[in-house]
Each structure stands twice: as structure tokens, then as C-alpha cells.
Structure 1
Amino acid sequence: MATSPSAASQSGHHGHAGHSAPAARVALVGVHGFGTHHLGNLERLQAAGVVELVAVADPQPPAPGSVPDTAAVFPGLTELLAGTPDLDVIIVATPIQTHAPLGLAALATTADLYLEKPPVASLADFNTLCNAAQASGRSVQIGFQSLGSHALAALEELVASGAIGTLEGISATGRWVRDRAYYKRSRWAGKRSIDGIDVVDGVATNPLAHAVATALRIAGARTTADVASVETDLYRANDIESDDTSVIRVRTATGLPITCALTLCASESVEPYVTLHGSAGTAVFHYTEDRLTVTTAAGETEQVFGRDDLTENLLAHRREGRELISPITDSGAFMLVLEAIRTAPAPTPIGRQYLRWEGDGDAAHAVVIGIEGALERATREHATFSEIGLPWAVSAVPASALRAPAGQGTAS
């Protein structure tokens, strides 16, 4: 789940240090969907004198009053670039299948790029984009907002201190509800591909991508070289192409298991979380809330952390060389997960006898009966739905994808 800039701005991100420099000239591509969150964040940053939103692009005109009167409006990035010189940052918040061509077009300019998650829809496109970034010398920030949480540093210190004993594994649990309207909101929703172009809009690659990316980051798995293997066990309750209920199991190069058990077919939505399983305790990180709960023999503690805004971090990187929080190469591990899902067989439909529908019409949503317990067991045992013997799960060995070969490009 992407966290709104307003939430991030209230949770202790860095201030506007050094913003006596001229305001960065920013363009936003995509002003609807998650683009509306970027508009709100850019409004905040423009009021602080940090940025100037000089242009936006979207084939659907922006809502009245959502874009500053001083910003030019274009139907697409091509027209925007032709009419807008000297950009410092281009933010792309558009459908998944457009990320690769728009990202490459942005990198052909002198601007740095903020690209929403998932970066692109295939590992091949990811490598192409990395190589383009390296050749251009431009910086690319990927929009995994949860990685800006200060809780990640605290978790690193927690593991290093031995407070929860030896780290034995990491899991991510996501239980959300998505109704029929969610899959009707756009042509690409719930698609594996459109007209031969990869989309890969599954539970782990888009709505709950932050669960996967956060678990990988906590495990120290950033690049493709940090991952030994990825296994997928993919299902769907909805009448869609992609998966809505899945287990993704990753083994890092150091042998640490990461199990992500995710669904959009829960009885009710709860905040997703990443769990560190230690030999002497657990740490549970609710990443949308920056809330960390640590449980050991000594008791339970809970703390809420601040968060750095990724747009501000990119600006600070440009201005003073601050390290990027989510550089493109650090999405390599996530892209191996996406590639394993992209190349896996189509998800298995869950039999109707194992489902119930709640609500009416487009507000109706599928519930996989007993899914909460299934997710718990999968993460606790680091097992797939198939391995724990659920009646709707197939008994075949899950699809597997090994890590990519060396030689992937890098970006600043």
C-alpha cells in the first residue's frame, strides 16, 4: 500500500534543510489514482518553497483546482517534454505497463526520475531501465514509500543486538478487501497482460507490493544478487487474470527464508505487517503505520516511528548528495519476485464452494473461507498453501524462478 504524503508529513520526515536553493522544477505524469497523493505532497512542498510544479501530463484532464494555475497541462509526456524545458525532477505515477516507456523517455532528459512502484512489468524492462539510468547519470527513486520508515533502522539495530535471538525468518502478511469495482476501475486492473504487453497486476506486485518490498529490505535483500530463489503459489477468487490470494516464498543468498502470504479476499481489511521471527522473540512491523511491536520473554514494547518522504529524499540527494532511500538497483530483489509471478502459470481459480460473497453489485467482494488462519499458518511454517494442504490448493510443486545472472545495470 502506498502511504499518502500527508500521512508521511505527519510522521517525522526530515525537514526542508538547505531549501534556500532555487525550487526544483518538477513535472508530474499521471494526476489521477495515486497521482492525487503526489499532487497533495507537491502542494505541501511548493508551499515550503522546495519545489515548483511546472507541468503535469495525463490523457484525462486533472480535476478542477487540483493543479496550480501556474502549471501547464499536457495530454502526455511527449507533449510535456516538448513544451517544458529545464526540468529537475519528473514523477511518473501511471499504469504499470507504461512505466518502462515513460521512464526511458524521462531518462533521456536532464531530469532525475521518481517512478512509482512496481518499477516496471518485467525483469528485462528493469535491466533496460537500470542501464539507461547508468548511461544517463540520472538518479532514479522507486516509490516504495514504506522504505522511508525510521523503523527499518531500529529493526536493524534490534537484530544486531540479539534482542530477539537469532533471526530465523521473515514473513509478510496482508489481508485486504477489494470489491468488484476495484477490478472495473481501469482496463489494466487484474490483468497479467494487455495486447501482449506485460501488466502483472497481482496481489504481491501492486496492492500489497509494499509488504514484499519491506520484507525484502529488512532481510537485506536489495539487488538481484541478494536472492537465491523465488517460489510462487498463486490463486484467484475473483474473475480476473492475475492472482488475488498467494504465497510467495523467497530464500536470500544467505539462506534466510522470507514468506509473503497475501490476499485481497479477506473478511475485513487489516493493516498489513512484516514479522521477524527470532529464536528468542518476534518483532512485528505494521509498515503503513510505522508501528513496531517487539515481544520477548521480558515482555512487549511498542513504538511508532517517523518517516522520510521519498520526494524530499530525492531532492536532498540532488542538492546535497544524501543517499537515496529507494534507488532503482535496490528494487532488483523485488523485480525477481515480480518476474517469478509474471512467468508462473496462470493462477489457479479457487472453487466456489470455498468462497462466499459479501455485499451487492460492484460493492460485492469475495471472501476465501478460512483465509485468515491459512495466512497465519503459511507464515508461521514458511509453507505454501499447497504444502499446508488447503482443500482449494493444487498439489503441484509451486513455480520457481532462480535469481537473475550477474551483469545487471546500476543507477546512481
Structure 2
Amino acid sequence: MKDSSSNIKLLMVGIGGYGNRYLQSISEQSEGTLTAIVDPMPEKAPLGPELMAQGMPIFPSIQDFLASGIEVDLAIVSSPISFHAEQSCALMKAGIDVLCEKPIAATVEDAEQMRQTRDETGRLLEIGYQWCFSEAIQDLKKDIIDGVFGAAKTLMTRVEWSRNSAYYSRNNWAGCILNKQGQTVNDSPVGNATAHYLNNMLYILGEEMNQSTRPKSVSAECYRANPIENYDTACCRIKTAAAADILFYTTHAVPKDDGPVFKYIFEHAEIDYSNLGDIIATFADGRTKNYGNPDANRMRKLAFCIRQCRAKSSRESICSVESATALTLCVEALQKVKVTNFDDADIVKQELEDDQSLLYVPSLPEAIHKSFEQQKLFSELGELSWARTSSTVTIP
């Protein structure tokens, strides 16, 4: 563990789950020093017992940490979604900069509260959609803004990430609309696990480098194979202020992972990406441009925020509150769409080790691939017995 007064002092809020990745990244870099932790159950985190044995100051709540008088420069909020707004606002009011993990919050109302607190306190507040911070996406977005590809026409992404019963039983809010305390979480593949890839389409269409385009309406179909409150499968067509359509296909009810895969169609070029490879733009005249792998440095977001803490003034923003709220607008719109249960006859149950199981729909991978290729929603294919006509929600 580093101990340098010249380093940015870091607070970790939540060290289980994705918070563990932050801990690993902090230990590998030299610009920030882990100074304290907030986590009500640190002993259950992978590195929790080790940090406790080292004497790391660990507090059960933000209030307990603030009462301790320990000073930090940057807080990394990697707690459950329902706590993002409350904890980020409390930290900013205490004069601490914040890197809040995605999604920004469960509701647009919470996101607006975070924006207001940021503006009132003048603190840094960045949202951890790591693709936004990658060199590949930054270079691509700059070319889009500069008109290199012409006008955007249609952007499409598909993500099939298999999730078994262990995923849905790992906490008290996975797959839920409300957690056990009655707080809104709206957990779904769109709002959580694969949110990065819908967010990226909104982000790169933003007119400024730290902005996303605003969604205007969402036409969507939501389905459920698992015994959860929310949906585990969705396809949607989003109309945007950028005058380009966004198509997004995502599911957890498949036997194996595939994706993310995207195709962005512009007036003079098509931009493709597949399964952790490079982003390649192919122009109408046959020329290509390689932007590299957007997953090359997933913790570039942390390094960026540490640099902004050092800057103190003339700070930059990459993934702002305003930018990240575009995704939350889409999530709230999808929550207004009726969820259709897959019929039992359409679902296969695969028994796994440790009394776990996987529920999947064998016809889903082909349906997603065909819909993606034809730029259609599931029901528009006209051949899927389980598909139901989409619902359209206008975003004010």
C-alpha cells in the first residue's frame, strides 16, 4: 500500500463486485493512494479481509466516514445503484470530488439531484462509463463531430451475455425494479450489465465531447425468461435529437456470451466492432481507419479523474451528468413497456454446479442476429411465435 503525501487521496465506497476492480487498479498505479473505505460488509469482499488486517480505515457508512475527519480528494462510488445519488451528493457537499460508477442513478430525478449538487458545490462529478474515457472512443467521437463520416444514419449494437441463477441471487436487487427496502433500482441488462453499449451510441452522437444526444422516443419489446421482477431481454429503437436511429438488442437468456457487436452507419462510412476487437471505419471508397480497442484500458477513467483532481481549476469533463442521464431516460422509458414472459415451451433449463441453473431461450441468438442484420425489432421479423408488438414511449 502506497503512502505518499503528494498522491491524490482516494476513498473507495463499496469494495465488493466492481469495486474490487477499482481496488486492483489503485494498487497498480502511482498517482492515487487508498486512504479509507466505506463498506458495511468489508469481510465479504475479495480483498476486504486483507485490507482489514492491514489496518485500513473502514467505515459502515458515508456519515461515519465524514465524522472521522479523514481527508480525501476523490471518492469512487461503486455501491449498489440505489445509493449512487445519496452518497455522491453527500460526498460533494463535504468538498470531495466524485467518480460514480455507472449507471449514474436509478432515476432521472436522482440524476438531476446529482447535477444540482455538482453545480452548487463546484465539485468534479464523472460517471464511470469506461468506453467514454477510452482513446478509441474519444478519437472516433472527435471524427464524428468533425464530420469525417458525414451524417449519422443508424447505429446498432447487440449484446448477448449469459447470466445464471447465481447472478440473480448475488444481492437483494438483481433483476428488480425495487430493492427490498423499496428503493428504485430498475435493474436490467439495459440499465446495468450492458448499459455501456447503449450509452456509447448516445454518447458518440452528442454535439460536444462531454455530451450525449438526447433520446426523443423509445419503441421497445421487453421479455423475461428468468423468475425476476424486471426483464432480462429487450430490443428497442430509439429516436434521437441527432436525427439518427439507435437500435439496441440485449439479453441474459442465452446459453453463451456473444458481443458486444456494433455497426454504426453514416453517410460516407460504416464503423464496425466485434467482441473485444478494434473499431474499424470503412469508407465508401474502400479506405479504412483503425481506432483501436475501446477495452484496452478500462480504468482510464480513474486516471482521468485523478488528473482532474490535481488540476483544481480549468477542469475537463468526459462523461458528465448530462451525458450519462441520456441512458437513464431510456431506462425509465423501457420501464413503461409491458414485460412479456417467454412460454415455458420456449425456455430450456440447464443445471449447473453448486445447485445453480441457467434459463435460456434457444431461438434468441438467431432472432437477435437476424433483427440486427435487418435493422428490425423482434416482432417486425414476422416469424417469432413469442414476439409481441412493440410499445412506443415519448420522452418529454
Task: Normalising by structure 1, report the TM-score.
Answer: 0.84
Kept after mapping to 2: 8 A contact 1:313/1:322: no
Find the aligned partners of 2:290 and 2:120 in 1 and give their Cα distance. 45
Any gaps of 5 or more consecutive residues in structure 2? Answer: none
Aligned to 1:314: 305
Kept after mapping to 1: 8 A contact 2:203/2:213: no
Q: How many residues are paired up?
A: 378
Aligned to 1:351: 343
3-state secondary structure, aligned to 2:359:
strand
3-state secondary structure, aligned to 2:271:
strand
Deviation at 1:190, TM superposition (A): 0.7
Find the aligned partners of 2:53 and 2:288 in 1 and give their Cα distance. 47
1:10-409 correspondence runs (5 A): 22-45=6-29, 48=30, 50-62=31-43, 63-66=48-51, 69=54, 71-156=56-141, 159=144, 167-194=152-179, 195-220=181-206, 226-278=214-266, 281-286=269-274, 289=276, 291-295=278-282, 298=286, 304-305=292-293, 306-307=296-297, 309-320=300-311, 321-342=314-335, 344-360=336-352, 362-389=355-382, 390-395=384-389, 397-403=390-396
Q: Highest relative contact order (Cα 8 Å, sep 6+), 1 or 2?
A: 1
Task: Normalising by structure 2, report the TM-score.
Answer: 0.87
Deviation at 1:208, TM superposition (A): 0.4
Q: 1:160 to 1:73 in 2, by over 3 A?
A: closer
Code of the residue aligned with 1:111 in structure 2: it is: I
Deviates more, 1:142-151 or 1:294-303: 294-303
3-state secondary structure, aligned to 2:236:
strand
Kept after mapping to 1: 8 A contact 2:81/2:105: yes
Q: 1:134 to 1:301 in 2, by over 3 A?
A: closer
Deviation at 1:158, TM superposition (A): 5.6
Q: 1:124 to 1:294 in 2, by over 3 A?
A: same
- Across the aligned residues of Structure 1 and Structure 2, the Cα RMSD in angstroms comes to 2.6
Q: Residue deviations 1:151-170, cap 9 Å, x none?
A: 12343466578876753210
Find the aligned partners of 1:316 and 1:86 in 2 and give their Cα distance. 18
Find the aligned partners of 2:291 and 2:337 in 1 and give their Cα distance. 41
Find the aligned partners of 2:109 and 2:75 in 1 and give their Cα distance. 22
Q: 1:357 to 1:282 in 2, by over 3 A?
A: farther
3-state secondary structure, aligned to 1:204:
helix
Find the aligned partners of 1:382 and 1:180 in 2 and give their Cα distance. 31
Q: 1:67 to 1:387 in 2, by over 3 A?
A: farther
Deviation at 1:253, TM superposition (A): 0.8
Kept after mapping to 1: 8 A contact 2:218/2:334: no
Any gaps of 5 or more consecutive residues in structure 1? Answer: 1-19, 404-412
Q: 1:43 to 1:84 in 2, by over 3 A?
A: farther
Find the aligned partners of 1:84 and 1:110 in 2 and give their Cα distance. 12
Deviates more, 1:294-303 or 1:25-34: 294-303
Kept after mapping to 1: 8 A contact 2:281/2:289: yes
Find the aligned partners of 2:76 and 2:147 in 1 and give their Cα distance. 40
